[in-house]
Amino acid sequence: MDLLFERSEQAIVELQNKYGAVCHRIADNILNNRQDTEECVNDTLLGVWNSIPPNRPRSLAGYICGIARNLALKTYERNTAIKRNSHYDVALEELSECLPSSNSVEEEMEAKDTAERINRFLQTLKPDDRILFVRRYWHADSIEELAKLFHTTKRSITQRLFRLRKSLKKGISL
């Protein structure tokens, strides 16, 4: 962070070394395209460079990952105007039954409330379930990647995610 505030170009090198891999994974999970992913990671580093200062995020890792995810989602939306990326679409479709759609102004107003409810829901989960949920629906990790991460089968991960979505849906509708 100090290097960014000093405007030292070494900050970019350090950001790439420390956060490049996680930014790459997030972007690639969403985009599933090497060239777009690399462009997204580069744009992320540039975005951090341009926004710090004046911003001083509490969590540099969270800040960088958020920028990478938002840029990847924008690229994804642009790319999918014509075609679908089944890997990320599947993850979004899994959640679509649990969350209100954002088709009207009223529903847009409810989006903040929904985000707060999701955060409260995540706080009720055991750490492993919270990590699983975030890795699937924020980082867009595949079922296969999650099975390896949790040392279990794809079927077990699918069942756990189903139960988590069911629990989320119940909590959101309250």
What are the domain boundaries of the chain? 2-79, 86-172
- Give the lowest-confidence range in 55-59, 74-78, 114-118, 150-154: 114-118
Fold category of 2-79 in CATH: Rna Polymerase Sigma Factor; Chain: A (1.10.1740)
Fold category of 86-172 in CATH: Arc Repressor Mutant, subunit A (1.10.10)
Q: Which of 139, 123, 129 is nearest to 161 (CA)?
A: 129
Q: What is the pTM of this model?
A: 0.64
Q: Residues 72-91: pLDDT tens digits?
A: 999 988 887 655 555 666 67
**Dist CA 142 CA 108 (whole Å):** 28
The pLDDT of 160-167, averaged and rounded, is 93
Number of residues that this document lists for the chain:
174
**Dist CA 97 CA 25 (whole Å):** 26
Q: Is 92 helix (H, G, I), strand (E, B) or coil?
A: helix
Q: Residues 82-137: pLDDT tens digits?
A: 555 556 666 767 766 666 555 555 555 566 777 788 888 899 999 999 999 999 98
